[in-house]
Amino acid sequence: MIDLAHVDRLIRDVAQDIILPRFRNLKAGEVRTKSSARDFVTIADEEAEKRLTEELTALLPGSCVVGEESVAADKSVLERLAGKDAVWIVDPVDGTANFTDGNPSFGVMVALAKGGETLAGWIHDPLGRRTAMALKGKGAWLEGQRLTVPPPCPIQDMTGAFYSKRTLARLAEAVKKRRCTGCAAFDYLGTLTGLSHFVLFTRLMPWDHAAGVLIHAEAGGFSQLTDGRAYAPLPMEGVFIAASDEESWQTIRSLVD
């Protein structure tokens, strides 16, 4: 059994030692782009992932890591998700564009998966010094307090996190507010702290969602892809929605073209 608190302390130490000292303090040559002009990687991403890889695999002998930066360097690393070994899924700095801009909406996301199933997940907000975590079948917590998703409400009273207002025009018109943080970690935290009633994503890289989907589910939420598939911590394509309950999910789904 993985000790949730032990992993939380490890993540906090990495954030304190490596990530926070670089926030609003990145030097020339410590930031570069990857696939596009706003797809950044920084020295904080790389060093944090390296240390998390070393410490997480030491914590669980025989496990391996799939990290955002390791996959950027070698796409074949994704194949580990389909293997039989336990896999740590790591996003060392989620919301790197925010981080490089000096925007405080960034986080660290870690999940433990095996056999295509997420077993545990952590979302850490370094500046807020808070961690949401969950263990499959056992519940979800934020700083020691049991988590529950916001109660269902009519669509016109909902706040949702989604990023394509132009292609989701009907949904954007139906909800009370669209809330976009530019950071999946903060979007998921919003559904756990009452800031949002749902999230919708069209980019489904495992390090952006494995932890958040599990924590949301263990807090009582309902989620799946719009084609009816359940989320799995594997490379997937489609539209994913997480909402307070199945009825809310169906209402949101009906407004997605």
Biggest CA pair distance of the chain: 50
Does one domain contain both 121 and 23?
yes
Residue 32 is predicted with a pLDDT of: 79
For residues 126 and 185, membership in a common domain is answered with no
pLDDT-derived band of residue 34, with 50, 70 and 90 as boundaries? low
Average pLDDT on 1-30 reads 94
pLDDT for position 216: 98
Final residue of a structural domain among 129, 146, 163 = 146
Rg (CA), the chain: 17
Domain, as residue range, for 117: 4-146
For residues 16 and 137, membership in a common domain is answered with yes
Q: Are residues 49 and 8 in the same domain?
A: yes
Q: Based on the domain organization, do 98 and 20 belong to the same domain?
A: yes
CATH number, domain at 132?
A: 3.30.540.10
- pLDDT score at 28: 83
Query: Residue 189's pLDDT is what?
Result: 98
Is 55 found in the same domain as 26?
A: yes
pLDDT digits (tens, 9 = 90+) for 138-148: 999 999 999 99
- Please indicate, yes or no, whether residues 121 and 187 belong to a single structural domain of this protein: no
What is the pLDDT confidence band of residue 41, given thresholds at 50, 70 and 90?
Answer: confident
The share of the chain scoring above pLDDT 70, in percent, equals 97
Q: Which of 128, 146, 164 is the last residue of a domain?
A: 146
Backbone angles phi, psi at 229, to 5 degrees: -75, 145
Compute the average pLDDT of residues 240-246.
Answer: 98
Where is the domain boundary, 146, 179, 202? Answer: 146
89 and 212, same domain (yes or no)? no
Average pLDDT score over residue span 13-26 = 97
The closest of 216, 224, 208 to 192, measured between CA atoms, is: 216
pLDDT of residue 38: 66
Query: Does residue 211 contact residue 233 with C-beta atoms inside 8 Å?
Result: no
Rounded Cα distance, 12 and 130, in Å: 9
Q: What's the CA gap between 255 and 257, in Å, rounded?
A: 6
114 shares a domain with 16: yes
Rounded Cα distance between 185 and 7, Å, is: 17
User: Are 129 and 10 found together in one domain?
Assistant: yes
Q: Which of 223, 214, 74 is nearest to 140 (CA)?
A: 214
How many separate domains does the chain show?
A: 2
What pLDDT score was predicted for residue 37? 54
Residues β-bridged to residue 122: 110, 133
DSSP string, 4-27: HHHHHHHHHHHIIIIIGGGTT-PP
pLDDT at residue 208 is higher than 60:
yes
**Band of pLDDT at residue 35, cut at 50, 70 and 90:** low
Name residue, tokens 């960034």: 106
* Of the candidate ranges 37-46, 149-158, 248-257, the one whose mean pLDDT is the lowest: 37-46
**Same structural domain for residues 32 and 61?**
yes
Look up the CATH number of the domain holding residue 244: 3.40.190.80
* pLDDT of amino acid 39: 66
Looking at the fold, whether 141 and 221 belong to one and the same domain comes out as no
